[in-house]
A and B are shown apart, each in its own frame.
Chain A
Amino acid sequence: MHKRRFRQFVIGALACVSLACAASAFALAPHAVFAETLTVDSAQDWAELLSSDEVRLESDLVVTYPLEGFDGVFDGQGHTIRCEGAAFASLSGRVQNVKFEGDTAIDGGDGVILNCVASGGLAVGFEGQIVASYAGKKLEGDTSYCVAPAFSDAGEGDTVRYHNAFNAKEVAELLERSRIAASCAYGYNFAELNAHLPGLSFGEKGYAFAGLGEEWEPYRISSAWEMAYLSAYVNGGEDFEGVSFLQTCDIDFASFGTLCPIGRSDTERGFCGVYDGNGYALFNLNIDTSFGSVDNALFGRLGGFVYNLGIESGKIAGGSCAAFAAVGMAGREPLIANCYSRATIAGEWRSGGIADNYNGAIENCWAYHFNRYPLVSYAAARIENCYSNGQIVSGTAEVVDCKTVSRGELNGEDCVEALSDYSLRLAMKRGGGALAWTRGALFPELTRTKGTFEGSGTRSDPYLLSSVRDWIYLSLNVNAGESYEDKYFAATADVDFSSLDSFFAIGSFDSGNAFAGTLDGCGYALKHLRITETAIGEIDNNALFGTLAGTVVNLGIEGGEIRGGCVAGIAVGGTAESRIVNCFVRDVTFVAGTRAGGIADNFAGKISGCYYEGKEPLVSYAATSVTYSASETVTLGTVTYESGNVSSQAESDAFRNGRVLYSALRISFDPSLVRYWSGGRPCLDAHSLAGSGSKSDPYCVSSASDLVFFAASVNSGTPYKDRWVLQTADIDMQSVFFMPIGLADTENRFYGVYDGGGHTISNLTVHSNELTVKNALFGSLFGSVLNVGIESGRIYGDYAAGIASEGYHLKTRILNSYSKAEVYGTVRSGGFVDDFGGDIFNCWYDNAQKLPFCSFRGGLIYHCFTVGDVMAKNAASVGEISDCIENTDFAAHAEAERFDRQFNESSLTGSMEYGYSRSDMVLWELGEDGIRFSGERFVLNAENISTYRDLIIECYLWNFVGIAAIVLAIVGIVISFLTEGKRFAGKKHERKHR
Chain B
Amino acid sequence: MRESIVDKKNRFVAHWKGMTDAERVRFLFLAVMLTAIALFVPVSLGIFFYNLTIPVEELDTGKSLANSIPFLKYWSLFFYRNSVFFQDRDDVFMDWFNINYMVYNNSPYIGGDSSYPPLVLNIAKIFAAMADYDFGAGEARNSPEGIASILTFYAVSLIPTFALLWVACRRKQMKNGQIALLCPAFLGSVPFLFEFDRGNYLLIALPFIFAFFLWYNSERRWAREAAYIGLSVAVGIKIYPAAFALILLKERRFAAFVRTACYSVLMLIVPFLFFEGGLDNISAFLYWLTDFAGSKGGEVNTVVYGVSYSYSPYNLPASIVAMLGPGVVDMDVLANAKAVELCGKILTVLFIVLVFFTGFASDRKWKVILSSALATMFVPSISFVYSATMCVIPIVFFLLDEEKRRLDYAYLALFLIAFVPCLSPYLADYNTVAFRWGVNLANFVQLLSYIAMLFLLTGDCVARLVRKGGKGFFRIKKGQNC
Chain A contacts to B: CB under 8 angstroms: 695, 722, 811, 912-913, 915-917, 957-959, 961-963, 965-966, 968-970, 972-973, 975-977, 979-980, 983-984, 988, 991
Contact = CB atoms under 8 A, between A and B. Distances in A.
B259 A973 contact: yes
B255 A983 contact: yes
6 contacts: A912-B110, A966-B270, A970-B262, A972-B258, A977-B255, A979-B255
Given A962-B272, A976-B256, A917 B110 contact: yes
Q: Among the interface residues B109, B110, B219, which one has the most CB atoms of the partner chain A within 10 A?
A: B110
B357 to A, nearest CB: 26
Interface string B18-33: 0000000000000000
A917 B279 CA distance: 11
Given A915-B110, A983-B255, A988-B219, A962 B262 contact: no
B259 A980 contact: yes
A915 B269 contact: no
A811 B291 CA distance: 13
A695 B269 contact: no
A969 B262 contact: yes
Given A916-B110, A959-B280, A966-B265, 7 more contacts: A912-B110, A915-B113, A917-B110, A959-B278, A973-B259, A976-B255, A980-B256
Most buried by A among B112, B219, B269: B269
Contacts of B221: 984
Contacts of B261: 969, 972
Nearest to A913: B287
Contacts, number: 76
Contacts of A983: 255
Contacts of B286: 958
Contacts of B294: none
A965 B111 CA distance: 24
A898 B402 CA distance: 73
B258 A975 contact: yes
Contact of A980 (B255, B270, B284): B255
B247 to A, nearest CB: 16
| Interchain residue pairs A-B with the least CB separation, the first 10 | A980-B255, A969-B262, A972-B262, A976-B259, A962-B279, A969-B265, A976-B255, A958-B282, A958-B283, A976-B258
A439 to B, nearest CB: 48
Nearest to B112: A915
Interface residues of B, number: 31
Interface in B264-308: 265-266, 269-270, 272, 277-280, 282-284, 286-287
A917 B107 CA distance: 11
B480 interface: no
A965 B110 contact: no
A961 B259 contact: no
Interface of B: 105, 107, 109-113, 219, 221, 253, 255-256, 258-259, 261-263, 265-266, 269-270, 272, 277-280, 282-284, 286-287
Given A969-B266, A988-B219, A917 B277 contact: yes
B110 A962 contact: no
Contact of A966 (B105, B113, B266): B266
B382 to A, nearest CB: 18
A786 B461 CA distance: 58
Contacts of A972: 258-259, 261-262
Contacts of B113: 811, 915
Contacts of B262: 968-970, 972-973, 976
Contacts of B107: 695
Which residue, A722, A916, A965, A970, has most C-beta atoms of chain B within 10 A? A965
A695 to B, nearest CB: 7
Contact of A912 (B253, B269, B284): B284
Contacts of A970: 262, 266
Contacts of A695: 107, 111
A962 B111 contact: no
A371 to B, nearest CB: 73
Nearest to B258: A976
Contacts of A957: 283
Contacts of A913: 287
Nearest to B277: A917
A980 B221 CA distance: 10
A963 B278 CA distance: 11
Nearest to A753: B111
A961 B263 contact: no
B333 to A, nearest CB: 16
B257 to A, nearest CB: 8
Contacts of B259: 972-973, 976-977, 980
Nearest to A973: B262
B128 to A, nearest CB: 15
B356 to A, nearest CB: 22
B429 to A, nearest CB: 25
Given A970-B262, A973-B259, A976-B262, A722 B105 contact: yes
A969 to B, nearest CB: 4
Contacts of B110: 912, 915-917
Nearest to B253: A980
B258 A912 contact: no
Nearest to B219: A988
B287 to A, nearest CB: 6
Contact of A962 (B219, B253, B269, B284): B269
Contacts of B270: 966
A482 to B, nearest CB: 37
A331 to B, nearest CB: 75
Contacts of B287: 912-913
Contacts of B284: 912, 915
A404 to B, nearest CB: 65
A973 B263 contact: yes
Nearest to B109: A915
Contacts of A984: 221
A916 to B, nearest CB: 7
Nearest to B232: A969
A969 B113 CA distance: 27
A975 B256 CA distance: 11
Nearest to A696: B276
A305 B110 CA distance: 80
Contacts of A811: 113
Nearest to B272: A962
A976 B255 CA distance: 5
A972 B257 CA distance: 10
B255 A958 contact: no
Contacts of A979: 255
Contact of A968 (B109, B112, B265, B278): B265
Residue of A958, A976, A979, A980 with most partner-chain B CB within 10 A: A976
Nearest to B267: A969
A959 B219 CA distance: 39
B279 A969 contact: no
A913 B258 CA distance: 32
Contacts of B277: 917
Contact of A963 (B105, B279, B280): B279
Contacts of A977: 255, 259
B475 to A, nearest CB: 16
A913 B294 CA distance: 14
Contacts of B280: 912, 917, 958-959
A972 to B, nearest CB: 4
Contacts of B266: 966, 969-970
A722 B287 CA distance: 21
A230 to B, nearest CB: 67
B282 A961 contact: yes
B255 A969 contact: no
Contacts of A968: 262, 265
Given A958-B283, A980-B255, A988-B219, A969 B111 contact: no
Contacts of B282: 958-959, 961-962
A966 B255 contact: no
A574 to B, nearest CB: 38
Given A913-B287, A966-B265, A984-B221, A959 B279 contact: yes
Contacts of B263: 969, 973
